[in-house]
Amino acid sequence: MTLHLKKAELHCHLEGAAPPALTEAQARKYNIDISAYLRGGAYVWHDFASFLECYDKVSEVYKTDEDYALLTETYLQELAEIGTIYSELIVSPDHGKRIGLGADAYIAGVCEGIRRAKAKSGIEARLIVTGERHFGPESVIGAAEYAAKAGNPLITGFNLAGEERMGRVADYARAFDIARDAGLGLTIHAGEVCGAFSVSDALDVVRPSRIGHGVRAIEDADLVKRLADLGTVLEVCPGSNIALNVFPDFAAHPLRKLKETGVRVTISSDDPPFFHTSLKREYELASDAFGFNDSEINALTRTAIEAAFVDEATRVALLARL
């Protein structure tokens, strides 16, 4: 049992955290037929491409700033109830544009949800703006420009998510340059669907302090050593990796091996209800599937806070709460 442990999460896509019951209620409210993507209380997909499609369809039932405030508050409250003190949410202002809400109203709704959750439970949260590879480099540059110019103190990072098999990291370098110049923290999905080369590409081109997943670095021993030497933090999402068949089972998952080789690792839930997981379950897996004891699990949480995209005063305050 890990309920007594304080927790932190660096890698969760906001719409990917939408509880199925809330998505069903939203679909009813807007008279949208979601039955092809949500049945029997579970999201319906069968591989990475169909997961991304399902994710986009589910996102379409969240339409207003108030819908986003409710979604954000609901997820952060769920985290706070299991002892989570810090959460970074991956958000896509592009999505706000696509549904006609607009990027500013989308972010305003999310920030209102953060404010409400913090008032209730004290949970601290920050936003990582993401570009989606499958919408192409121009759209990713647009997301970076938005994050850079937003002047919103809760937007502290930039990410690249979506279809990892589309293009190479170099195609998206300009977006990361914009985000770096604006002082945003950098992280990037790599080594999830594609192999070790995508992690090498990310290190060469983006020079991020963190990598989303990164677990397929395990296919290249020199690369694992490079990650350890650089101190790059991996946002590892074991339940997601098994659900997406990146590894056949937890016994084959490299979380423990990466940690023992000196790589700085953390644990997150990615898109929890899509992958039949939760941050609570990821912490339980750390104990039950990977055999970490309480002090080792606390060390993962400490690493997450050390790598969090927050100002130093907030980091010190969070570390003091551990």
**Is 306 one of the annotated active-site residues of the chain?**
no
In whole angstroms, how close is the CB of 18 to ligand ADE at the nearest point? 12
Residue number with CB closer to ligand ADE (59 or 232): 59
In whole angstroms, how close is the CB of 147 to Zn ion at the nearest point? 17
Judge contact between 142 and 135, C-beta under 8 A: no
Q: Give me the catalytic one of 73, 132, 192, 235.
A: 192
Among residues 73, 164, 201, 270, the one that binds Zn ion under rule CB under 5 A:
270
Q: Residue 277's binding partner, choosing from Zn ion, ligand ADE, none, with beta-carbon cut-off 5 to 8 A by kind?
A: none
Classify 36 as helix, strand or coil. Answer: coil
Per-residue HEC secondary structure of 123-158 comes to CEEEEEEEEEHHHCHHHHHHHHHHHHHCCCCCEEEE
Q: Residue 43's binding partner, choosing from ligand ADE, Zn ion, none, with beta-carbon cut-off 5 to 8 A by kind?
A: none
Classify 265 as helix, strand or coil. Answer: strand
How far apart are the C-alpha atoms of 170 and 301, rounded to whole Å? 32
Stretch of 144-152, 251-259, 267-275, 301-309 lying at the interface with Zn ion (CB under 5 A) = 267-275
In whole angstroms, how close is the CB of 124 to ligand ADE at the nearest point? 23
**Residue 122's CB: how many other CB atoms inside 10 A?**
10
Among all residues, whose Cβ is closest to ligand ADE? 161
| Token pair in block for residue 25 | 């209620």
Q: Residue 131's binding partner, choosing from ligand ADE, Zn ion, none, with beta-carbon cut-off 5 to 8 A by kind?
A: none
Residue number with CB closer to ligand ADE (83 or 142): 142
How far apart are the C-alpha atoms of 231 and 144, rounded to whole Å? 25
Residues in the chain: 322
In whole angstroms, how close is the CB of 296 to Zn ion at the nearest point? 24
Catalytic residue numbers, as ranges: 192
